[in-house]
Amino acid sequence: MTSIPDISQLDNPFWSSLRTVHRELARAAGGAACFPPEYAPFLGVADADIDVIEALRTLVAPGESAYLLGVAPARVPEGWHLEAFAPLAQMVCDAPLEVVAGPPVLALDASHRQDVLDLTALVYPHYFRPQTMQLGRYLGIYQDGRLAAMVGERLGADGFREMSAICTHPDFLGHGYARRLTAMLGNATIEAGVMPFLHVSRQNQRAAQLYERMGYRHRRDIGFWALHAPAA
């Protein structure tokens, strides 16, 4: 009998990803772990109440910042600052999505890296790094020789995969490209027996409503923080 994945893994998605799908990338110390900075500026802790002060000093370089999602440490090193942002909406999908008609879709690889970095720098600048594409599959649509829209996989856990970097170049808005890409990657994920999930800002109601119309449902609001280490 196939076991049912434990959806509570998504309550602490950075930690879960670094302990499962991306464990080979994890930089770990004590009860904390992070991605290498060239992949993502994300850090996870096993539990809010464990002592990770020395682990944080090991993992976050002086003057750098790391982001946490779902769980943040109750105590941070002296002189460090834990900045709370508005919670994000976490959404999941457990049924096939309608794929709207549109242009051909390409699997993006290293040969498309500069185009991906240029697009994310323009419309998705905060969390994408030079090696983020190595975290999963990426799909894109090209128009007029330019990357018009893209979607990719970022976080993961046993039985779950995050849809991320869902973005469209401003010159190509309104054509349904991102919806087409998100549905295609989500369906491929579902066909593999894995549940897609995503995160969206509560302030971005337009995107949240689009995902709901597509077939995603709100699972929970999830805390989001930045942890800032002081300069040396």
Helix, strand, coil shares, percent, the chain, to 5: 30, 30, 40
Q: What is the pLDDT of residues 104-162, one digit of tens each?
A: 999 999 999 999 999 999 998 789 999 999 999 999 999 999 999 999 999 999 999 99
CB-count exposure of residue 116 (10 Å: 0-12, 13-18, 19+): buried
Residue 1 has pLDDT above 50, yes or no: no
Structure tokens at 137: 């599959």
Identify the structural domains of the chain with CATH numbers, from first to last: 7-88+224-228 (3.40.630.30), 90-219 (3.40.630.30)
Q: What is the pLDDT of residues 23-70, one digit of tens each?
A: 999 999 999 999 999 999 999 999 999 999 999 999 999 999 999 999
